[in-house]
Copies of this chain bind each other. A is one copy, B any other.
Amino acid sequence: MKRLKAITISIGDELLSGKTLDSNNAFISQQLEMIGIPVRKKLIIGDIAQDIKDALDLAFSQADVVTLTGGLGPTHDDITKSVLCEYFDVGLKLYPEILETLKHRFVRRGFKFSESNRSQAEYPENASLLENPFGTAQGMQINYQGKHLFVMAGVPREMEIVTTGQIIPFLTELTQSSIAIIDIHSIGVPESALYELTKPVFNDYSDLKIAYLPKQGMVTIRVSFPSISPDEDQKLKNEIFTRIRDIKPKNIYGRDDELLPVLIGELLQKNNATVATAESCTGGLVASLITDISGSSEYFQTGYVTYANETKMSMLDVQEQTLIEHGAVSENTVSEMLSGTLKNSGADYAVAISGVAGPTGGSEEKPVGTVFIGVAHKEHQNIRRFQFGGNRILNKEMSAYSSLNMLRLLIGETTQ
């Protein structure tokens, strides 16, 4: 079976100016590589007709799969569709049902439907449409001289859903050399340490491809191997996951879609339990992550964002003496935040966080990145001191996810 190769093309002046990192291409490359289609070149060009045509010439001459993102909006700088019509010498075709949907959407939001939006319902005659549920610009698939061109909007969410929902399934069938993939999620172990810890297990298998993908202080291990059969694949995935998780079960917490907010939700629902949050330095981020999950109102009712000492006292009954003696960023304060949260919210579990997010506010004893995180259930509290880094946003994210992991472990301990 012939091995397919890809070239990706990104259109957009903002990518050339360096103000925007081209994360789209990275996403597409990862997706294609997972199904065994390596990307040979990436081309990034501006909204210039001749440059788009030159890029298509080059891509069709060297690759079997070509992706093209950007330039599909309704404004003057979005020329991709007209260039495609010229390139393939075809006209535009109007999709009346898309036009109706567009008009309806504008009216519902109280805007006038302007004629420049009509173009969002027109596509080159030789294109099949790829549904984009998140935006008005549909994706396109054009087959040309035995090659496959996929065209998408440059908005990441829209590009991602068209890629994973339409393009990858199509290409997976085309290549057959399908690849089985499992993502294994970890938190609190540096990438290099995770690599050393997991290497002996992975060395037991031939034909595994391993990638360590760090994000927000957490690392996902992506394991892929040539597919055998659905049953065999599943068996191998389960075996690998179990062996890797058992190396560090406190830190290696889930696979594939089992991200921490999802796992918390499942655990709480299974046990008919609820959680409430008390946040200082994370400023509401933990509550926001929990409520990113549909159905979270079943187990989350109350969150306290107690940024000021006065609010910690008034909302959570933290003692003034505790704040004076130990400071807001201390085990003692977090302990009282936990008790107050359980008492005042009536929830079964509590999460409380207090720390120095930075960049200011650090001291020798408690430098920027010092965070106390606690979880509680009835009389039982677990409180840990973490030392993160110097970046405010990253400190918030690491604190929030670490608290969810501690909550996961506590629910496990208390519901055996």
Binding site for B on A (CB under 8 A): 12-23, 25-31, 33, 38-46, 48, 51, 73-77, 106, 108-112, 114, 116-117, 120, 133-134, 155, 157, 181, 190-193, 195-196, 209-215, 222, 224, 277, 279, 281-288, 290-292, 294-297, 300-308, 310-311, 315, 345, 357-360, 387, 390-394, 396
Question: Which one of B40, B192, B391 contacts A117 once the chains associate, using CB atoms below 8 Å?
Answer: B192
Contact at A38–B17, with CB atoms within 8 Å? Answer: yes
Question: Which one of B28, B73, B195, B210 contacts A116 once the chains associate, using CB atoms below 8 Å?
Answer: B195
Contact at A196–B285, with CB atoms within 8 Å? Answer: no
Contact at A41–B38, with CB atoms within 8 Å? Answer: no
Q: What would be 19 A-B contacts, judged by CB atoms less than 8 Å apart?
A: A16-B42, A17-B224, A18-B25, A18-B27, A19-B30, A19-B211, A20-B26, A41-B46, A42-B44, A43-B44, A73-B192, A77-B212, A109-B190, A111-B190, A114-B193, A292-B396, A301-B307, A303-B304, A303-B305
Closest approach, in angstroms, between the C-beta of A40 and any C-beta of chain B? Answer: 6
Bound: A4/B83 CA distance, A: 26
Q: A43 to chain B: which residues have CB within 8 Å? A: 41-44
Closest approach, in angstroms, between the C-beta of A10 and any C-beta of chain B? Answer: 8
8 closest Cβ contacts across the A-B interface?
A: A303-B305, A283-B291, A18-B29, A284-B284, A284-B287, A301-B308, A42-B44, A18-B30
Closest approach, in angstroms, between the C-beta of A386 and any C-beta of chain B? Answer: 9
Contact at A18–B33, with CB atoms within 8 Å? Answer: yes
